Amino acid sequence: MEEKYESLALEQAEGVLTLTLLGPGKGNAMGPAFWDELPRAIEAISAMDEVRVVVIRGSGDHFSYGLDLNQMMPRMAAMIGDPQQTDRRQELVTMIRQMQSGFQKIHESPKPFIAAVHGWCIGGGLNLISAADIRLCSADAKFSLREAKLAITPDIGGLQWLPRIVGEGVTREMAFTAGDYDAAFALRTGLVNHVFDSPEQLFHEAMAMAQTIAENAASAVQGAKNVLNYGMGKGIEEGLQYVADLNSSQLQLPDFSEAMQATAERRKAAFNKKISRGY
């Protein structure tokens, strides 16, 4: 039976799953339910053979206000105190690692994730989209890595993924100033691939992109994500050997034979609708 979530809504059609942030805090703020549910939801989505692409979006007027401090304080309050108290520090480490796990699972999932951002995308929201494969936004979107204003170092993935997306200098500016940045800045720095005039156009175009990806051979799409993830921090030669090894098996899959046959017959290829495991 499909699990029901308080902070997330899942809707699947034609190989595309839409994952919508629901809050329940204002602005889809990320409270206890979100941090508990996201890792389980991503694990479930990654195991759905019929899902080929995932679109993440927010409900209402914003993507996410980020961490819901009011809702999280009961969990955190008992752990905050003397930094020399080893037990409390370890409890905080355990909590942070658990919070990191949902975003890490997005990064590691074989499915490509498209983040469609409208309105505010603050703190945890920005960390979340940095774990996605592709980011799009509407012209009203605003981005902020605001943790420094709360005496927190961003600790749920943004400082690891953002330098690979926007570069070290832009990441350091955003993290050190905790400033607010608009859609034009996001496009100029490469944080997003495209900016659309309205949230409605954003969601339409995000779904159109997802459907385009879903029509391609799933083995090739997830193979590309696998190779790109593997190559992080490695040299060119390692990456070349890895993709050669991967393709030595991938090119024996039915999808490749179908692609060759469809090309010869001048028709659209009919690829397997389910993702094969192992890429």
Q: Please name the residues in contact with 59: beta carbons below 8 A apart, sequence gap of 6 or more.
A: 9, 20, 21, 22, 23, 28
Residue 229 CB: number of other CB atoms within 10 A? Answer: 13
pLDDT at 12 over 50: yes
Q: Please name the residue ranges forming H helices in 78-147.
A: 86-108, 124-131
The answer to whether 74 and 38 have CB atoms below 8 angstroms apart is: no
Average per-residue pLDDT in the chain? 91
Task: Give tens-digit pLDDT for 171-202.
Answer: 999 999 999 999 999 999 999 999 999 999 99
Per-residue pLDDT of 29-43, as tens digits, reads 999 999 999 999 999
